[in-house]
Chain A
Amino acid sequence: MTTTEAPHTPARADAPAPAPVRRARRLGPGRPIPFGWAIGPALLLAVWSIGSATGWIDPRNLSAPWDVVRTAGDLIADGRLQEHLWASARRALAGLALGVAAGLVLAVVSGLSRLGEGVIDGPVQIKRSIPSLALIPLLILWFGIGESMKIITITLGVLVPVYLHTHNGLRAIDSRYVELAETVRLGRAAFLRHVVLPGALPGFLLGLRFAVTAAWLSLVVVEQVNATSGIGYMMELARTYGQTDVIVVGLVVYGLLGLLSDGLVRLVQRRALTWRRTLAD
């Protein structure tokens, strides 16, 4: 130590030892906690359980968690939950299928032709700024209060995100690929199949994720308008009788449906975009 005469080490042998390095205060969030995501929900459940057990939460406002579980068991046992779930799922799927198909076709037409864009893009953008749910009064006047009104409302909610993201993805396709398609003399159909649709697929799948959420969202609302089946109807009925346990079961089912369908779309996304994953790896 002392033999080195490095000018940048002012410390000598007889000088006091250097002070230990003071570590800087850590400013980032730190290391991840295992199962950290579960802390909030578990806390919420604990507060709910304790509140119900001590009588601090009135069961007329919110049933105890164990009551909710028992009610769910009863509803499943007598088949009512499945029946309502099926009715809801059928509506959501019908609206989703129609909306996705319409959004996709509109996006392709509007993306491939200037005339199509002029005709289609404006109305969709206008529709975009009007919440689907605000259209319900008009849709009831036009289509009544039956199934068609419900499915059309869901369709309209689904159509917009699918259109927007697919159109965006389509327009983002590199023009060099269009040039390539011309030099290998692809026809319109082959161009659509090999360049346009695969190129717009990432955008479409992103739109689909928003669309699935939109479908469940619209479902909640339309099922409280004069429905005679479905999870929303079940909850509406429970409200009349003050059955908060049934309402909570309905909420949980909606939540699970949303999570499940989003996971499903993400799975499809990962499968369909293998060529992109190789970039990330």
Chain B
Amino acid sequence: MAPHPGGLTGTRRGPAVRAEGLVRTYAGRRVLDGLDLTLAPGEFAALVGRSGSGKSTLLRALAGIDHGIPASGALSAPHDVSVVFQDARLLPWRRVLDNVVLGLTGPDAAERGRTALAEVGLGGRERAWPTELSGGEQQRVALARSLVRDPELLLADEPFGALDALTRIRMHALLRRLWDRHQPAVLLVTHDVDEAIALADRVLVLEEGRIAADLPVTLPTPRTPGGHAYAQLRAKLLALLGVTDDPAGAPDAPATPGDPT
């Protein structure tokens, strides 16, 4: 039903993302410090880390929008990358449909845009101005804008961080559903451990500019909090992030990276 030209499933070869020894320096600080990362095509990975650990820097590097930053290391990413930001970032002077198809060319652009809007449940709102939509609706438009490009890699920088809890739960289901249908590789940056476990099949922990842990999530979907395996994974991730339930333990003590598996 959705326009879904081949190429996403047929012509892929090799990993979607490969980074080796990635270094990015902001104001003299090596925010990314020799980072290695490989993402397989169609893989849904979450990136967690404390604030300042370099999550957004990595995402900006993968998106190719970190101009003028001292950089070294090898990085290969697909040409078709889409980014969803924390703010919906819709052009206020363009109507919803025009925002979705921004930069698209071809006679069927508008039709694809309509289909994408219908997919995120906003069919019929094509002519609305962005300011007329709620926060959740705006973020859904941003999702439609990303997916209409049939990206091989979808980068999402805390996309649900500004939404209320109920809307966030609905957006989780929507994102997972869209990923199922379009199968892009996803790198979801989040500070929310539960969000990472609920959505991703692999959780990466970023610490001091490197991937400190790489945990597969093998729980069946849909994943709801509760159950022993879930709690175990959650506790492990929180420990890696330096948060422990032990009141005696210093919460800011550096986490021991430990065995990634």
Contacts and interface: CB of A to CB of B under 8 A. Distances in A.
B65 A195 contact: no
A275 B93 contact: yes
A275 B92 contact: yes
Interface string B92-133: 111000000011000000000000000000000000011110
Interface string A178-193: 0111111110001000
Interface string A257-276: 00000000000000000111
A65 interface: no
Interface SS of A by simple majority:
helix
A186 B145 CA distance: 13
B145 A184 contact: yes
B91 to A, nearest CB: 6
A199 B93 contact: yes
B89 A194 contact: no
B93 A198 contact: yes
A194 B65 contact: no
Main secondary structure of the interface of B (DSSP, over half): loop
How many interface residues does chain A have, given as a range? 20 to 34
A24 interface: no
A275 B99 CA distance: 13
Contacts of A279: 131
A176 B83 CA distance: 12
B83 A194 contact: no
B179 interface: no
A240 interface: no
A152 B64 CA distance: 47
B103 A195 contact: no
Given A183-B82, A184-B102, A278-B129, A198 B63 contact: no
B131 A275 contact: yes
- Of A183, A190, A194, the most chain B CB neighbours within 10 A belong to A183
B103 A186 contact: yes
Given A275-B131, A278-B132, A185 B91 contact: no
Contacts of B149: 184
Contacts of A177: 89, 91
B136 to A, nearest CB: 18
B89 A176 contact: yes
Contacts of A182: 64-65
Contacts of A180: 85, 89, 91, 102
B103 A190 contact: yes
Given A177-B91, A184-B102, A278 B131 contact: yes
A201 interface: yes
A185 B14 CA distance: 24
Nearest to A186: B103
Contacts of B83: 183
Contacts of B81: 183
A274 B132 CA distance: 12
Nearest to B67: A182
A186 B81 CA distance: 13
B87 interface: yes
B94 A194 contact: yes
A190 B89 CA distance: 17
Nearest to B98: A194
Contacts of A195: 91
A91 to B, nearest CB: 34
Contacts of B92: 275-276
B129 A194 contact: no
A183 B91 contact: no
Given A176-B85, A182-B65, A194 B132 contact: no
Contacts of B91: 177, 180, 194-195, 198
A53 B216 CA distance: 98
A198 B89 contact: no
Interface in A165-213: 176-177, 179-186, 190, 194-195, 198-199, 201
Contacts of A181: 103
A222 to B, nearest CB: 37
Nearest to B128: A278
Contacts of A179: 65
A186 B83 CA distance: 14
Contacts of A190: 103
Interface of B: 63-65, 81-83, 85, 87, 89, 91-94, 102-103, 129-132, 145, 149
8 contacts: A179-B65, A180-B91, A180-B102, A182-B65, A183-B81, A275-B129, A275-B131, A279-B131
Given A180-B102, A198-B94, A275-B94, 12 more contacts: A177-B91, A180-B85, A183-B65, A183-B83, A184-B103, A199-B93, A201-B93, A275-B130, A275-B131, A276-B92, A276-B93, A279-B131
